[in-house]
């Protein structure tokens, strides 16, 4: 399952790495792809994640989850 989220505040490779690290630690997540130019983060997981799970991981990395991309 693939879900695209919008994350605010990422500006560099270190930012992307921090977000990727926190999200890949969530159970069932097998991949994370960050597009710095758009702030979109594509998460590949075995099952749907709750927005709260994703928000907590992004917060832990020091960034803000805006929500699911439209």
- Whole-model pTM: value is 0.94
User: What is the pLDDT at residue 67?
Assistant: 95
Domain residues for 54?
2-68
Assess contact for 41 and 61: CB atoms under 8 A.
Answer: no
Q: Is 39 helix (H, G, I), strand (E, B) or coil?
A: coil
What backbone torsions phi and psi does residue 28 show, to the nearest 5 degrees?
A: 90, -5
CB 6 within 8 A of CB 63: no
Q: Give the model confidence (pLDDT) of 2-24 as tens digits.
A: 999 999 999 999 999 999 999 99
SS3 of residue 42 by DSSP: strand
Q: How many domains does the chain have?
A: 1
Q: What is the mean pLDDT of residues 16-44?
A: 97
Q: What is the pLDDT of residues 48-63, one digit of tens each?
A: 999 999 999 999 999 9
| Average pLDDT of the segment spanning 32-61 | 97
What CATH number is given to the structural domain containing 58?
A: 3.30.70.100
Alpha-carbon gap, residue 1 to 13, rounded angstroms? 25
């Amino acid at each position: 399952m693939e879900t695209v989220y919008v994350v605010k505040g990422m500006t560099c490779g270190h930012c992307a790495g921090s977000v990727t690290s926190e999200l890949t630690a969530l159970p069932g997540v097998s991949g994370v792809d960050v597009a710095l130019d758009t702030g979109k983060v594509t998460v590949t997981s075995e099952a749907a994640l709750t927005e709260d799970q994703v928000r907590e991981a992004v917060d832990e990395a020091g960034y803000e989850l805006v929500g699911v991309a439209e």
